Structure 1
Amino acid sequence: MGALSPQHFAEVDYVVVGAGSAGCVLANRLSANPKNRVLLLEAGGRDNYHWIHIPVGYLYCIDNPRTDWQFKTVSEKGLNGRQLIYPRGKVLGGCSSINGMIYMRGQAADYDLWRQLGNRGWGWDEVLPYFKKHEDHAFRNGHYHGQGGELRVEKQRLHWDILDAVRDAAEELGIPKADDVNAGTNEGAAYFEVNQRGGVRWSAARAFLEPVKKRDNLQILTGAQVERITFDGARATGLVFHHQGKPRLVRAHKETILAAGAIGSPQILQLSGIGPVELLKQHGIEVRRNAPGVGANLQDHLQLRTIFKIKGALTLNEMQKGIWGKAKIALEYALKRSGPMSMAPSQLGIFTRSHERYETPNIEYHVQPLSLEKFGDRLHDFPAITVSVCNLRPESRGRVAITSNDFKEKPEIRPNYLTAQEDQEVAIASIRHARRLMATQRMARFAPQEIKPGLTYQSDEELVEAAGDVGTTIFHPVGTAKMGHDPMSVVSDTLELHGFEGLRVVDASIMPTITSGNTHAPVTMIAEKAAEMILGDDQRRGS
């Protein structure tokens, strides 16, 4: 806790913590009524770093202290003792300023399951209008899509013959070519659509904050890190945060809203005395409420990066070789906003089943026309493609836990990858599925040669070991303050914290189960729906 008494900073109606995918939507919607005074706090800086806006710039934003919290997992048993970097956006726009820009809603069944778990109003047919409300799709409109909203969705601005071949190869395995993987079912092979406008990243900050940042009733404060929530009995009254080295106190007359993400929100709750009682006592924090679910239920998508050396097709590996190759790529982007500098980390997606027992696709491919040993390394000097496969609905559950009562200390992140038997079985099947994909007639002309994990891994036991060697996160942590009504749930289906008033959590942490795809779009939907609920409650109170 801060040694100095916090100085009074402001009296507002709503204070929102975190200017990421959710916080930007909330700030926009809650400040639309000029009577509402809204303060948006972002612990990171402004989004004026040029690499944020150039799509390929994610390479320079991830693990960069200017834009990333630079978290790491603990050493993971399921990954053969490896630690993984765990990027989280530390900038306006949050993770939407450093992510892969893929627009992916998941499956209708994901949201129907949330409703089946007792969360009223969260079925697919009920959340679809909120996806559409802020969507600005470049060429789709109608029942499943919207145009004219803030969040731009476009096709990627480049083409690779080798990816066309992989898509054909999937069809050879009985996986159909798909047109729209955001209409409730994502089965099939399709090129990912992205949150870009004309080859430039379209983050939540660009979409939702930039148009409204000059509203008189909205204050956006960067470099503002929260220490704890303040209370009057069971009612949240505001926050203590630190800005320019000094503790500040803000009072929120209507609501305090945590939108700090699946790592940040449980950390703030634990620091405020809401969490597992043993953890709080361990760090000398006064227990306000024993809430064992705070920080628990961590879910994430682990991708298995299989790599195949190929012949007879261009990949980025050789395209970017030498100064002239790099110059040509830069010139194309400068003139046309297209080419490799406009590309998302993954271009082709394939959604299918690892086993016929699954009702809907349970694995997702991210196929890339490039290869490297690990993130941050140089590309290989030979032509190759990366054929990553991730388990869309992992059974393994981890946790996030504070390591100190000092808000500046990084929390412990323990995903527990591949600890569930089901996840190991899916991993085994995924590697074998990728091998079958590369062994199709369509791929034969490219003579694919597996270099990771390598054909020496054949038995089930060997493939589990291989999965531990090549597995890495695609940065989709969710579930650490889950919505529900069981003893481990943290928020209600209106996202209000159980046992408290004036306090909500609105971000990926509220997902009871992870969605079957990338998570940025679902989080913006959650915030859109939450804003409507918050404003509706305000109207009913007659404020």
Structure 2
Amino acid sequence: MTEYDYIIVGAGSAGCVLAERLSASGRHQVLILEAGGRGRSPWIALPLGYGKTFFDARVNWKYESDTEETLAGRRGYWPRGKGVGGSGAINALVYARGLPHDFDDWEAAGATGWGWQNVRRAYEALETQVASDGARRGAGPITVQDVSDQIHPVNRYFFAAVDEMGLPRTEDINDPSGEGGTVYRINTAGGMRNSSARACLNPALRRANVRLITGALVERVVFEGSRAVAVQFRRGDRQHTVRAGREIVLSAGSVTSPRLLQLSGIGPADLLRSHGIVPLMDAPHVGGNLQDHLGVNYYFRATERTLNNELAPLWGKMRAALRYALTRRGPLALSVNQCGGYFRSRPGQNHPDQQIYFNPVTYTTTPAGKRSVIRPDPFAGFILGFQPSRPTSRGRVDISGADSGAPPLIRPNSLATEEDRAQVIAGGRLCQRLITTAALNRLIESAMGDDLRQMDDAAILEDFRQRCGTVFHPVGTCRMGVEADQSVVDPRLRVHGMAGLRVVDASVFPNVTSGNTNAPTMMLAWRAADLMLEDA
């Protein structure tokens, strides 16, 4: 049986960072197991290729949540990355650390040592900040690009509306005081996606002590007593077992890491027995504490040209492609989410409670062969959308059977609290105030669908129930904490009651951060590597 020092399950945003850092000294043999492929699609490297990977089963697990009565009986579409790079290979690239109080709340919830001052140091080690003129600050592998010189001119209406309302502005959403309207920073390098796969795993794979196996569907972790010693996985028609001399790390994400624990006998005992799995440890919190951001977009036809005019016609696509090929700039080098920021929905609040998105494009989902693609509309348009930043509802992710290939049972339990419903109304009202400013009103030709400008509180909430969707930030299903009866892993990310087993991904977040979760996931992995190397 082949043995490695560290076995990492999942080559996603966290797993790739871990692989680089654990292997850097050359002393440790590191194996990475990835269920998907190598992730070489050109649409992954292209920042605006997000629209092509959104429904592509070759690089996307395309999960669905269970139906939710609170969301008008609808199922939610849950894209998750399938391949090297994980969801960081198919996301919309916004790099948002989160706000300082997010991490102080982590520490208050039992994640000792994960307060803002500690995680800030990890961020600074992880990142290289790249200004719009090319000036660089920092020496980390993840490049955080300022693209304020490349955004579409129509974004000026959004900033004019922010100013008209007297709301704050910030040059960098990742500053500790990063509240207000801003141009989103994105993790690109040279106009190409700079996910942790490109920035961290690719260099690591040049080392003799690192091995990556793709197409490896992990079935379970193998234990000797209470120590994790091996991983069993299937590749094609063959089953394999590999042994870990030091540790096994689950970095399979908030949907799959809890399921792998359950498949290995660690989870709610009654659930495991119902699927014929003998419980190794009754751990009811495995799969619980699921949190996610829900958001909604409001679509408007515009009185001025937007990205639709550039990208909808064939000649426009060709011109944008030529510009990108020659300069690595232009709309193809950017995120679909160009501007937005953190805002307080009303004065006097302690912290921002809403994240706003302003996109100079509208699009429809259309069939193309066996899958769907996102196409810009053939007329000028823009989007204003929001997500409540810190939802209080809690759901679950569980196995649906004893087969590791069985689809997950995702029950978000959305809008379960009165606070969350109030936050939806507050976010809708904030967008309503923005869209009715003189600045943005000049950009509106007409609303597409129901008009936010005409909605009262009840209509805002009902519209949200009918149309909202995940913003693809699931966290918390293997939450971190001091007490074993309240959490799944300790503050060093070791699974309570088990030796040689950690979880390192967004599933350990005690609470969802206020914004996009890819940056804090990579930060967490960076700091986790420090902890693991200390323990070694």
Shared fold (TM-score greater than 0.5)? yes
Corresponding residue for 2:324? 333
**Percent identity among equivalent residues?**
40
1:383 to 355, 380, 388: 380
Distance in 2 (alpha carbons) for counterparts of 1:31 and 1:406: 32
1: CA distance, partners of 2:409 / 2:206: 38
Contact 2:312 2:376 in 1 (8 A): no
Instruction: Give 1:452 shift.
Output: 4.1
Q: Which residue of 2 aligns with 1:275?
A: 267
Cα deviation, 1:5-27, whole Å, max 9, x if unaligned, reads xxx3x111110000111100111
Q: CA RMSD in A?
A: 1.7
CA contact under 8 A between 1:305 and 1:472: conserved in structure 2? no
1:193 and 2:185 matched: yes
8 Å Cα contact 1:457/1:466 also seen in 2: no
> 1:69 Cα shift?
0.9
CA contact (8 A) 2:152 2:307 kept: no
* CA separation of 1:453 and 1:476: change in aligned 2, threshold 3 A: farther
Aligned to 2:145: 154
Q: Which residue of 1 aligns with 2:75?
A: 83
Cα distance in 2 between the residues matched to 1:278 and 1:167: 53
Q: Where does residue 368 of structure 2 map in the other structure?
A: none
Give the structure-1-normalised TM-score.
Answer: 0.93
2:10 matches 1:13: no
Q: Distance in 2 between matches of 1:254 and 1:263?
A: 25
C-alpha distance in 2 between matches for 1:101 and 1:450 = 28
Counterpart of 2:472 in structure 1 is 475
The aligned amino acid for 2:391 is P
- Distance in structure 2 (CA, Å) of the matches to 1:319 and 1:22: 36
- Written as runs of structure 1 = structure 2, the 5 A alignment for 1:280-299 is 280-299=272-291
Report what 1:465 is aligned to: 462
1:130 aligns with 2:122: yes
Task: Single out whichever of 451-460 and 177-186 deviates more from structure 2.
Answer: 451-460
Q: Distance in 1 between matches of 2:217 and 2:444?
A: 53
Q: Is the 8 A contact 1:258 1:506 kept in 2?
A: yes
**Alignment partner, residue 347 of structure 1:** 338
Rounded to whole Å, the distance in 1 between the matches of 2:193 and 2:297 is 25
* In 2: Cα distance, 1:152 partner to 1:455 partner: 37
Q: Residues of 1 paired with 2:439 and 2:452: CA distance? A: 20
Q: Which runs of 5+ in 1 are unaligned?
A: 1-7, 539-543
Question: Structure 2 CA distance, aligned partners of 1:107 and 1:322?
Answer: 40
- Residue 400 of structure 1: how far off its partner (Å): 0.4
Contact in 2 for aligned 1:132/1:146 (Cα 8 Å): no
| TM-aligned CA deviation for residue 453 of structure 1 | 3.8
> Is 1:31 matched up with 2:23?
yes
Deviates more, 1:384-393 or 1:69-78: 69-78
In structure 2, the residue matched to 1:169 is: 161
Count of paired positions: 525
By how many angstroms is 1:232 displaced? 0.8
Q: Which of structure 1's runs of 4+ aligned residues deviate more than 4 A?
A: none
Question: Shift of the alpha carbon at 1:305?
Answer: 0.8
Change (3 A) 1:456 1:82: farther
* Partner SS for 2:73: coil
- Pick which of 181-190 and 263-272 moved more: 181-190
Change (3 A) 1:357 1:418: farther
Q: Confirm or deny: 8 A CA contact 1:186 1:361 kept in the other structure.
A: no
User: Which amino acid in structure 2 is aligned with residue 151 of structure 1?
Assistant: I
**Equivalent position SS for 1:531:** helix
* Inter-CA distance 227–146: structure 2 relative to 1 (3 Å threshold): farther
CA distance in 2, matches of 1:426, 1:450: 23
Correspondence for 1:56: 48
Tell me what 2:356 maps to. 365
Q: How big is each residue's C-alpha offset from its partner over 1:288-312, in whole Å with a ceiling of 9 and x where there is no partner?
A: 111111111111111111112221x
Alpha-carbon distance in structure 2 between the residues aligned to 1:47 and 1:373: 26
| CA spacing shift, 1:373–1:60, aligned 2, 3 Å | closer
Aligned equivalents of 1:189, 1:505: Cα separation in 2: 35
Correspondence 1:42 to 2:39:
no
Tell me, yes or no, if the aligned pair for 1:306 and 1:431 is still in contact at 8 Å.
no
- For 1:497, the equivalent position in structure 2 comes to 495
Q: 2:96 aligns with which of 95, 104, 110?
A: 104
Question: 1:191: how far off?
Answer: 0.3
